[in-house]
Amino acid sequence: MRHFFCTGAIAFLLIYGCSRPAPDSSRQPPPADVDSQASVVEQAEEDNESLEKLTIVILPDRSSPERTEKIAALQQYLVETLAIPVELNVASDYENAVEQLVNGTVNMAYLGPLTYIQAKEQNPSIEAIAAPIDENSGRPWYTGVIIGHTDITTLEDLKGRRFSFVNDASTSGFLLPSYEFKNLDIDPERDFAAVHFGETHDQTLQLLLQGKVEAIAINRATYNKALETDILDSEKIQLLWESDPITNAPIVVSGSVPESFKPILQKALIEAPAGLVSVSVSEAQGYTIVEDGDYETIRQLYQNYQQQAQEEDSGV
């Protein structure tokens, strides 16, 4: 059963979210002991702490030929920069991406804020090491939006309409809009004519374009790109709501990645050519260092969500 976030601790979360400083886009990885990247790798090998292979899973948050090309380019860059074999795969769904990282099938992942929180709950050794800097804002954050037909002017107007989220493990495509709905005393299961899950941001957008739903929750970057490429007609579809900024989707590593190798990965990502590392929903101009505390607001929100879901199941 899919649960929708219930009110409670909302004031706390709003205050916490507003008071916490945003991640610093100027953060740099710790300096290496030697100047050359190759020398750092050689030193790690001498210390028996290098990786034999880097295996990466990517969230299936969008699908396009362009993304396939970017993944291939990223793989080639990492192989050349790190001097080790690199394998990348796109997970079958959000849950599968978390599972692969937690069970050790891969040792690095492109996750969303919520899937990172879920993965770290299951395996505390998982660590966020970098996040993309948004191409439009120049900051390491992004927002979620709700868009819909122009005859819908407020979120309250969604009652009786057909609506789609992305996936219940999506931060911008589920958790944040669910939070807002409950803040307005809107229960999707009770108030909407139908609730769908598109599974990726692109596919969720297609549900709206095909007339299968009348409003959707997606990432702002997906909405912007649809406008820029004239996929969306602004005279028929409009922005209904936008979330506060949250720290961008992290690149994370498992505990099997040696501590001495993490700065090497961070350096490789931060020094990558602009746009090369943009394999998730957001278009990135580069990367910056993040840490676990940058995702504390989402963690608090998700924990509250879990508590409310348990109370619903137990009839409390």
212-221: pLDDT as tens digits: 999 999 999 8
The count of domains in the chain is 2
User: What residues make up the domain containing 215?
Assistant: 144-242
Q: Same structural domain for residues 231 and 266? A: no
Q: Same structural domain for residues 200 and 163? A: yes
Indicate if the pLDDT at residue 18 is higher than 60: no
Q: Same structural domain for residues 31 and 71? A: yes
Q: Same structural domain for residues 260 and 175? A: no
218-to-28, 51, 164, 246, 307 alpha-carbon distances in Å? 30, 36, 9, 14, 25
Comparing 84 with 136, which gets the higher pLDDT? 84
Give the CATH number of the domain where residue 192 resides: 3.40.190.10
The reply to whether 1 falls in a domain is no
pLDDT per residue as tens digits for the range 304-316: 877 876 777 776 5
Q: Same structural domain for residues 209 and 134? A: no
* pLDDT, average across residues 158-165: 98
Confidence class for position 10, pLDDT limits 50, 70, 90? very low
Q: Same structural domain for residues 30 and 106? A: yes
Q: Same structural domain for residues 252 and 109? A: yes
The reply to whether 5 falls in a domain is no
- Percent of residues, the chain, with pLDDT higher than 70: 80
112-to-66, 143, 311 alpha-carbon distances in Å? 20, 12, 26
Indicate if the pLDDT at residue 252 is higher than 70: yes
pTM of the model: 0.82
**pLDDT at residue 279, rounded to an integer:** 74
Among 222, 242, 262, the domain-final residue is 242
Both tokens assigned to 65: 């030929």
Contact 285, 135 (CB under 8 A): yes
**Alpha helix locations (H) across the chain?**
10-19, 37-46, 65-82, 94-102, 113-122, 176-183, 188-191, 201-209, 220-228, 262-270, 296-314
Contact 7, 184 (CB under 8 A): no
Q: Same structural domain for residues 235 and 202? A: yes
The reply to whether 316 falls in a domain is no
The reply to whether 217 falls in a domain is yes
Confidence class for position 31, pLDDT limits 50, 70, 90? very low
d(CA 214, CA 152): 9
Q: Same structural domain for residues 39 and 128? A: yes
pLDDT per residue as tens digits for the range 178-200: 989 988 999 999 999 999 999 99
Which residues, 6 or more positions from 152, have their beta carbon under 8 angstroms from its beta carbon? 158, 161, 214, 215, 238, 240
d(CA 255, CA 268): 19
Average pLDDT, the chain: 84
**pLDDT at residue 306, rounded to an integer:** 76
pLDDT per residue as tens digits for the range 124-144: 999 999 998 887 778 889 999
Kindly report which listed range (42-46, 142-146, 241-245, 285-289) carries the lowest average pLDDT score.
42-46
Indicate if the pLDDT at residue 16 is higher than 60: no
Which residues, 6 or more positions from 2, have their beta carbon under 8 angstroms from its beta carbon? 168, 195, 197
**pLDDT at residue 299, rounded to an integer:** 95
Which residues, 6 or more positions from 90, have their beta carbon under 8 angstroms from its beta carbon? 57, 58, 59, 60, 71
Rounded to 10 degrees, what is the CA torsion of 10, 16, 18, 22?
-130
* pLDDT, average across residues 278-289: 74
Both tokens assigned to 175: 């958790």
**pLDDT at residue 41, rounded to an integer:** 46
**pLDDT at residue 25, rounded to an integer:** 53
The reply to whether 4 falls in a domain is no
Q: Same structural domain for residues 42 and 133? A: yes
d(CA 169, CA 94): 6
